[in-house]
Structure 1
Amino acid sequence: MDMTTVGDTGLLDALQHEVALFARRAEQTRLGGVGQVRNSMDRAAYLLLNRLDKEGPMGVKALAASMGIDSSTVTRQVAPLVDTGLVKRTSHPEDGRAVVLQLSPRGLSRLEEVRSSRRQLMAELTQDWTPDEREAFCALLTRFNVALSTRAAPQAVQGVEPTSAS
């Protein structure tokens, strides 16, 4: 079944247009927050640091799998984070030959700074929304991102990196 015939074609056209505008505006501003921290951390670094904070220390392959991107991409993106002291490379506790990536105290502090700035931006952008509207938008955006991620998953398995995850 052609999915474009399901529902209102005009609504689907409006949705794809709004998603395209959102992607462009998000990239232009990088949704970087407010104040001095604004635009001070790129998307890849933010997502990697956030994942290490939420899931704890892990190897490159596990980090890549959890983010739906290629290991070589993670290696390339983590290198400057290690160089700047935001991430540390340590030995795996059970296999000393394996390397584990871990958020450093400096990395956690920096991540919290950026999160706070971005949280303030989200508050400003949605200041005239009700709590229910914020919750509904977050739930729908999460659902949309999961659908995009699920759709991109077979490509990641074949070695084709989904561009939205990096």
Structure 2
Amino acid sequence: MEKLERELMLLTRHQVLARRERDPERLERSAYLLLSRIDTQGPMSIGQLAEAFGLDTSTVNRQTAALLRCGLAERVADPDGGMARKLRITAEGGHRLAGDREVNRSCLARVVADWSPAEVRELEDVLVRLNRSAEALEGRHWPRPEEDGARAACHPPRASRETAAPAP
């Protein structure tokens, strides 16, 4: 376990994988994670996001307020008819998320440039297994687009923006 812990710690520090500090146009980590979850699952309430991330609702409220202020997300009526308003990615949020994902994938492609396709698939498979094991222990599943029932990428309408005032 010592080697595994060390290698995971080192993985999180590699700047080639996360260049947010040097590019002000990149999303902050919390924005990237929240938008990614909404993109995968569809509109979510603050309570649903707090539960999904295992965070206090006040923390998620602050993070989502920043998304709303920046025009990356908007409040919409619950598509399923519930009372709570939900957060949906705006066209700008979808554009920024897609841009960040492309930069991340480009950086990863450079890191594994001399790997075979089989080695890349093996790493993907092991990481999926590691993440699913952690999700099972935490009781918080992260939906994946390739799974049945998970939403494909969210592409909100570009014409209207039903943006409410950011939560306090």
TM-score, shorter chain, exceeding 0.5: yes
Which has the higher relative contact order, 1 or 2, with Cα contacts under 8 A spaced 6 or more apart? 2
Distance across 1 between alignment mates of 2:39 and 2:16: 21
Aligned pairs, number: 138
Distance across 2 between alignment mates of 1:39 and 1:130: 32
SS at match of 2:118: helix
Quote the residue 1:82 is aligned against.
68
Shift of 1:30: 7.9
Matched AA of 1:125? V
> CA separation of 1:38/1:120 partners in 2, compared to 1, >3 Å: closer, same or farther?
farther
Distance across 1 between alignment mates of 2:72 and 2:117: 34
Matched AA of 1:92? D
Q: Normalising by the residue count of structure 2, what TM-score does the alignment of the two structures yield?
A: 0.71
Report Cα offsets for 1:111-141 as digits up to 9, x if no partner: 1111111110010011011111111111111
Quote the residue 2:48 is aligned against.
62
More helix by share: 1
Quote the residue 1:16 is aligned against.
5
Q: Does 1:104 align with 2:90?
A: yes
Matched AA of 2:88? Q
Matched AA of 1:137? L
Q: Normalising by the residue count of structure 1, what TM-score does the alignment of the two structures yield?
A: 0.72
When Rg is computed on C-alpha atoms for both structures, the one with the higher figure is: 1
Q: Quote the sequence identity (%).
A: 33
The gaps in structure 2 that reach 5 residues or longer are 141-168
The gaps in structure 1 that reach 5 residues or longer are 1-11, 155-166
Partner of residue 71 from structure 1, selected from 38, 42, 57:
57
Shift of 1:16: 2.0
Quote the residue 2:30 is aligned against.
44
Distance across 1 between alignment mates of 2:16 and 2:138: 22
> CA separation of 1:149/1:110 partners in 2, compared to 1, >3 Å: closer, same or farther?
same
Partner of residue 115 from structure 2, selected from 129, 138, 142:
129
Per mean C-alpha deviation after superposition, the further-off stretch among 58-67 and 72-81 is 58-67
Distance across 2 between alignment mates of 1:16 and 1:82: 36
Matched AA of 2:3? A
